[in-house]
Chain A
């Protein structure tokens, strides 16, 4: 806890310094208040600033990235099913801490029509489990060769992250990428090894742009083997239209590693400050492994329909609202989830009684990538509200995000403070409360609260 006291002292100093900036500007005018007309030009300051042409000289190579330090404090919920599953054989007290470090490195080399790009990610964590770091295989997030014979045609070969879909927090049509973490949707994701191309054609008239993106994604032992069934060559594709000022994508995936799936998405500005977007995915023969409260595992097969509808709205006083409804057709029902949690509770009771953890190990076997995936149930609401530069504090963006499970009424709520006022530095303080009754999605998460500070330095 002493380490967290230090963090709070650092934050206090940061916000005092920010407040002093605000105090230097006492005559702040809130947006919307009648403003007086200014007729005189300010004293010229342009001559103080130089724009050296050498700053914009193009180099054939680029190296950059960021380093990150992210300490997290978890306040545990010792009655929650997932706490019991994770900590049943440990005694960690009421709180646990995790100290996360990250180095994300990017490099590119360009010659003629060819460009080589690599993005590597190295995670290091110290927690109650001791030191852990990224597996070498997962450290290269992207690494591909790009050939661009013309501005309308390009080919990419290698490990790439193709993020399809228009949703901010959820993307049911993102068939060839790993799932996003809705708690932090802007985090970079590890890609898959594939060959892809982009062909773009522009038109005048209602159809302004057409682009076609075919993808070949092989899955073999040691090549994309976490994508799906091995020894298959999958084919995916996206056709994009900008039609009547609306972005539309038609998306498909076939080939056997995953069942066939097709989707459509759209995005459009209704007014300058209101955007609507949506996605629809049809997944053929989706399989779910379901465990009942007695521990019997069964497999269900069905055609799933997932969809998302969302808006992004900017108010006149610079508040951005992102609101999404997500129907996860591949998700578990409230009853199925309750059975899973009940089985964990029974397993934990058995462990306390006789030290036998076989039921808990059985529950763990259906958790990874199944019950344990993010947003594993069926109906979710996502709401994120951020206020840009309140009280005229430049580069300061407070926000609040909530994800609610509509099936069981549980939710998580995360207020945050983001400050980017020092060149290449980013500070984010975020708290999360997980609220829900027994047997609910967020109520059974291992912690009740968590607080994290994220400090990033870009270079």
Chain B
């Protein structure tokens, strides 16, 4: 009897170490990266092998799990280009064209290694199911699978900081396990309002050897928006949401 109780106690201690709920962890990572509804500014930098770079400034707003809209503020050639994502639907508004056109998650409105799905990224839990989690000394290793075929990457390999529960590195893979790109999360920063997260994401891809893209975050703030903001009709006015 005594032995049984010791065994049971040992099991109770041991089980939590292996019972990290992958989806719960993914949800925590989502919330640590951003509030569910927010506004944020990003600078996206494409770096060529020669060192030459192009910079873009992007303002975006998000509501709930599947609504995100944004507009480019710079450079002048891109200013006013608006993007909208409602779940799997994505549109691009080009001021000269004057009307939104449907685009796909795999395209890139600015060129470079980041595609539209990276720029208009939804919560990971909205698109992926955790399949396996391994707990290591200082990090978690989580493997996730896309919920539907419409998601940009079929699989993710995610390494997360154990204490902060934010990503350190994410590999984006095809269904066959081919690496499409790697995202490196760096320079954890306090953005205020309880948001402490990496302020820089670097990415490279074996498909674009020598090229690199960098996303720098600024002014991430919880903010609520009406649903009407996330509509085609509102797209030409996204910039009016800036304060």
Contact = CB atoms under 8 A, between A and B. Distances in A.
Interface of A: 21, 24-25, 27-29, 31, 34-38, 41-42, 44-47, 49, 51, 53, 55-56, 58, 64, 66, 110, 115, 148, 150-152, 154, 161-165, 168, 185-189, 198, 200-202, 208-209, 211, 213, 240, 242, 245, 247, 267-269, 271-273, 275, 277, 312, 314, 318, 320, 388-389, 392, 394-395, 420-421, 423-426, 456, 458-459
Given A186-B97, A421-B52, A459-B76, 19 more contacts: A21-B50, A35-B207, A42-B204, A44-B202, A55-B57, A64-B76, A115-B240, A150-B226, A163-B99, A188-B98, A242-B232, A272-B88, A272-B149, A320-B107, A392-B208, A394-B111, A423-B54, A424-B76, A425-B77
11 contacts: A25-B209, A31-B207, A51-B216, A53-B218, A56-B73, A151-B228, A314-B104, A318-B107, A394-B48, A394-B211, A458-B76
Interface stretch (B5-13, B14-22, B133-141, B178-186): B178-186
B104 A49 contact: no
B33 interface: no
B54 A421 contact: yes
A391 to B, nearest CB: 11
Interface in B95-133: 96-99, 101-102, 104-108, 111-112
Contact of B212 (A42, A66, A247, A273): A42
A242 B86 contact: yes
Contact of B234 (A36, A151, A208): A151
Nearest to A420: B77
B27 interface: no
Of the four ranges (under 10, 10 to 19, 20 to 34, 35 or more), the interface on chain B belongs to 35 or more
B59 A56 contact: yes
A51 B43 contact: yes
B233 interface: yes
Interface string B173-215: 0000011001010110000000000001010101111111010
Most chain A CB within 10 A, of B79, B211, B234, is at B234
A270 B216 CA distance: 34
Contact of A424 (B75, B152, B186, B226): B75
A46 B186 contact: yes
A240 B47 contact: no
B226 A151 contact: yes
B45 to A, nearest CB: 6
Nearest to B77: A458
Contacts of B43: 49, 51, 55
A42 B52 CA distance: 17
B231 A242 contact: yes
B99 A164 contact: yes
